[in-house]
Amino acid sequence: AQKVTQAQTEISVVEKEDVTLDCVYETRDTTYYLFWYKQPPSGELVFLIRRNSFDEQNEISGRYSWNFQKSTSSFNFTITASQVVDSAVYFCALRTNFGNEKLTFGTGTRLTIIP
Amino acid sequence: GAGVSQSPSNKVTEKGKDVELRCDPISGHTALYWYRQSLGQGLEFLIYFQGNSAPDKSGLPSDRFSAERTGGSVSTLTIQRTQQEDSAVYLCASCQGARETQYFGPGTRLLVL
């Protein structure tokens, strides 16, 4: 069975601070994908990044960066120089290449950026 | 291009009534998923359609829930004899193939009184 844990329920930081959202996953499969989605107040889940289990290279996209470490089963997400528009709920998700390949989501982290 | 669309955006119904929720996937996407987001259960998988294959209904919580996908495109999720615990946001996602990234619609907020 798959499991994704986002231990941080809520985080508040002052604008321009850096913030890291943690994600720890469990799976017995050797091939899998990890995702981050953003859910702004409008409610739609917005895709941010996909990582496969064979690629442990960290990725940077503008102010966003992701740190994937198989040794600790973690896929953490850092926002640098946070902005008010970053306020949202962020979900980490796991998908394997077997069965219906559904997404297994963490419980989400609500990020509030204080102006 | 157009993203995944869902209708209605909001639905208020009385306990015991049937409801239908609609999802229009991104054109050309062969895989379609329904998820439910509720306060107590988080985001949970409901059902999966891939091309012309039989759907995977393993996530449906009860036999009051059913879904169909006509012509490999539009999907309808039906909840019969709604209960208050069915109140949630129902999200639809589509992807080009079963192993591709899922893109989500805006959801339908269902409130059962």
Residue B72 has pLDDT above 80, yes or no: no
Strands B10-13, B108-112: pairing kind: parallel
For residues B108 and B9, the answer to whether their CB atoms sit within 8 Å is yes
- Could B102 and A47 be called an inter-chain contact, meaning their C-beta atoms sit closer than 8 Å? yes
Write down how long chain B is: 113
Label residue B1 by pLDDT band (50, 70, 90).
low
Average pLDDT across chain B, whole number: 93
| Rounded CA separation A23/A5 (Å) | 6
- What SS3 state is found at A69? strand
The region that residue B25 occupies, defined by phi over 0 for left and psi between -120 and 50 for alpha, beta otherwise, is beta
Mean pLDDT throughout B43-69? 93
Mean pLDDT throughout B87-93? 97
The answer to whether B7 faces chain A, any CB pair under 8 Å, is no
Burial status of residue A97 (CB atoms within 10 A of its CB: 0-12, 13-18, 19 or more): middle
Please give the pLDDT value at position A107.
95
Specify the DSSP class assigned to residue B85: G
Find residues 57-96 of chain B whose CB sits inside 8 Å of chain A. 58-59, 89, 91, 93
Give chain A positions within 8 Å (CB) of B104: 37, 44-47
Residue B19 has pLDDT above 80, yes or no: yes
Residue A17 has pLDDT above 80, yes or no: yes
Please give the pLDDT value at position B5.
96
Pick from A87, A46, A110: nearest CA to B42: A110
| Rounded CA separation A114/B69 (Å) | 44
Burial status of residue B33 (CB atoms within 10 A of its CB: 0-12, 13-18, 19 or more): buried
Angle at B102 between CA B98 and CA B107, to 5 degrees: 130
Mean pLDDT throughout A72-96? 96
* CB proximity list for A90: less than 8 A, separation 6 or greater: A6, A21, A36, A37, A38, A39, A77, A108, A109, A111
Pick from B25, B109, B43: nearest CA to A95: B43
Choice between A18 and B51, residue whose per-residue pLDDT is larger: A18
| Rounded CA separation B21/B69 (Å) | 12
Q: Which of A44, A99, A104 minimises the CB distance to B106? A: A44
Residue B99 has pLDDT above 80, yes or no: no
